[in-house]
Structure 1
Amino acid sequence: MQSSTLLAMAGLLCFPLSALAVDDSSGNTSGNVLTVGAGVAAGSPYAGDDRTRVMPLIVLDYSMANGFFASTMRGLGYGSQAGAFSYSAALGYRGERADHKRSGLRGLAGSDYLKGMGKVEGNASALLSLGYSPLPGVQLSVAGDIPLNHRENGATLQLGASGQVYSRNDSRGMPQDTVSLGLQTSWGEKKYLQTMYGVTAAQAARTAFRQYTPKGGFYEAQASVSWGHRIDARWRVNTVLGVERRLGDAANSPVVQRKSAPMGAVYVTYSY
C-alpha cells in the first residue's frame, strides 16, 4: 500500500484503531481487542497520478493488553505508553509500484503513464514511531520507515500533528462523535526520491521522460479531517477526507502529473 496514496492514508486510519486498544468499551475484560472492518478508500494509482480511483478497504487489527499488535495498517509489532509519550516498533511491508495499470485490489499500485519505467519492488520495512500528547486530544508524532531489503527504495520520515476539535459523549459519558484535524509532512532520503520520482538515463531511453535526479528532502504534505461515530460499544463508523501535496524536487518530477490530489476513506469497524 505504501507506493500509493494509501501510504499517507494508512497513518490517518491508525488513529481510531490505536484508540481502541487504550479505550476498550466493548465488554472485553481481557484487554485484547480484535477489530475487523470494511469500507472504501479513494486515492491515486501512484503518487503524482492525475487520476483518483476508489478501491475496497479491509481493516484487521488485533491489539493485545501487553502491547503487541498485528494489523493490516500498523504491521506486526509492539507499542506502549509512558505518561504523555507513546511508542511502537513494527515490521511492515511497503508495496510495489508497477509501470502499467492494474485491476482489482492491486489497482492503486500502477499506471500505464509509467510504461517503460520498470517495477519498483516491494520491501519489508522497520516501522518506528514516537508520539507525544502535550494536551488531551492533541498528538504530535514522528514515524520512520526503513527498508530491510531492496535498500535502494530508501527510508522515509513522517512528522505529524493531530487535534480533536469536537467531541460529543453518549449517556454513559463515552465519546460518541469525535472530529479531528491532522497535518503531516514527509521527508525522504535521496534513494527514496530517486526511486519514486527520479528518472535514470536507462529509464529516459525507454520512455518519453527526461532524465531527472532529485535530491533528498521533504517531498509531500497532507492535511485531513476525520470523523468517528460510535454506534454502540462494538460498532463504529469512520470517515477521513484529505488532500496531499507534492513538495520540492518531487513536485518537479516528470512522472508527477498533478501536484495536489484528494484522498479519503469511509469504513465501518466491529471490535470484540
Structure 2
Amino acid sequence: MTLRLQALYAVAACTAFAGSALAQSQPYEQIRPAPQGWTVDLGAGVLYRNDSNGDTGSKTTVAPWISANYRDIVYLTPIDGLGWNVVKADDFRAGVQLRPRFSADDIEGLTLDRPGFGADLAAYAFKRLPGNVVIGGRVSRDVTDVSEGVEYYASIGHQRITPVGLLNASVYVRGGDSKLADAYYGVSSTEATANGISAYSPGGGVQGAGVSLFLLVPIGDKWGAGGLINYERRLGDVADSPLSQSDDAVRAGVFVARRFGG
C-alpha cells in the first residue's frame, strides 16, 4: 500500500462511523472492521427541502440525528428506519426495513387533505460489483393506512475514499402504484371544487429519477460530520399533477454526530 493510500485509508478509518453509516444495507467494501457489539451515534442535523412530496414551497428543518447498529445486522437510522440484514455476505446483502415516510407539507394557497406521517415495510437486495459499485433495489408498502400504496426503487452507486472523507454517489429511479401516486399528487373532486383547480387521479408507473451525493468527514476519533445533496426530477403522471408546479426537487442536509460503543 502506498503512503498516499495509507493516508486516505486513515482519513476514513479514524472516524467513528464513516465506514458503517453508508454500508448497513449496501455491501460496499469495508474500510474498517464491522462493530462487534452495539454502537450508537448521537448528533444533530439541518435538512433543506425544496418542492418535496408535492409541496410547492421550501422548508428547513433542524432535527436530532440518532442511529444505532448491532454488528451490521440490525440497524436504525433516520433515513432507512429500522432494518435487518437477513442475508449478510461480503458482496451481497438482503433484508427488510420498517421505513419512515414523512408527512407531506401543506401547499400554500390550497386547502387539501395531505398525507400524514407513516411507515413502509420494505424488502431489499443489493450486490457489489467490481470497482466498489453496488446495484440493487427495494420494494415497499405502506403499513399505516396513509396511502396503502406500493413503491419500488432501484439504484446504482459508487463509494470511494477521498482526501476529505468518504464519498458516496448514486443514481436512482423510483416508482409506485396508483394508490401511492394519488395519496400525494391526486386531487379529489371535492378538493378541486373547494380550491378552484382541476380534479386529478394519477396512475402508477415511474415517478422520478435522481442523483445523490453523500460525504462523511472524520473529526478526531469519535466525531464525524456529514453532508447530503439530492436532486430529483419528477416523471410520469405525478409530474403532470396540478400539485407539482415544478418537476424539480432539491434536498440538502448537514449533520454532526458522536459515536458511542463499538
Give the structure-2-normalised TM-score. 0.80
Shift of 1:222: 1.5
Query: Is 2:126–2:136's contact at 8 Å kept on the other side of the alignment?
Result: yes
Q: Which runs of 5+ in 2 are unaligned?
A: 1-17
Q: Is 1:210 the equivalent of 2:198?
A: yes
> Judging changes above 3 Å, is the alpha-carbon distance between structure 1 residues 245 and 91 closer, same or farther for their aligned structure 2 residues?
same
Query: Is 2:114–2:184's contact at 8 Å kept on the other side of the alignment?
Result: no
Looking at structure 2, the residues matched to 24 and 59 of structure 1 have their Cα atoms a distance apart, in angstroms, of: 23
Structure with the bigger RCO (C-alpha within 8 Å, sep 6+) is: 2
Shift of 1:15: 8.7
Q: Is 1:94 the equivalent of 2:105?
A: no
Looking at structure 2, the residues matched to 42 and 17 of structure 1 have their Cα atoms a distance apart, in angstroms, of: 21
Shift of 1:258: 0.8
Match of 1:161 in 2: 156
Match of 1:67 in 2: 73
**Higher share in helix:** 1
Give the structure-1-normalised TM-score. 0.77
Number of aligned residues: 239
Give % identity.
20
> Judging changes above 3 Å, is the alpha-carbon distance between structure 1 residues 25 and 35 closer, same or farther for their aligned structure 2 residues?
farther
Shift of 1:262: 1.9
Paired residue for 1:52, among 58, 78, 81? 58
SS, match of residue 206 in structure 1: helix
Looking at structure 2, the residues matched to 245 and 196 of structure 1 have their Cα atoms a distance apart, in angstroms, of: 16
Q: Is 1:201 the equivalent of 2:194?
A: no
Tell me how large the CA RMSD over aligned residues is: 2.8
Looking at structure 1, the residues matched to 145 and 51 of structure 2 have their Cα atoms a distance apart, in angstroms, of: 21
Q: Which runs of 5+ in 1 are unaligned?
A: 1-13, 98-108, 169-175
Match of 2:21 in 1: 17
Deviates more, 1:189-198 or 1:132-141: 132-141
In the TM superposition, what whole-angstrom CA distance separates every residue of 1:116-151 from its partner, at most 9, and x where no partner exists?
A: x21324333212221111124322120222112316
Match of 1:103 in 2: none
Shift of 1:189: 0.5
Shift of 1:16: 5.8
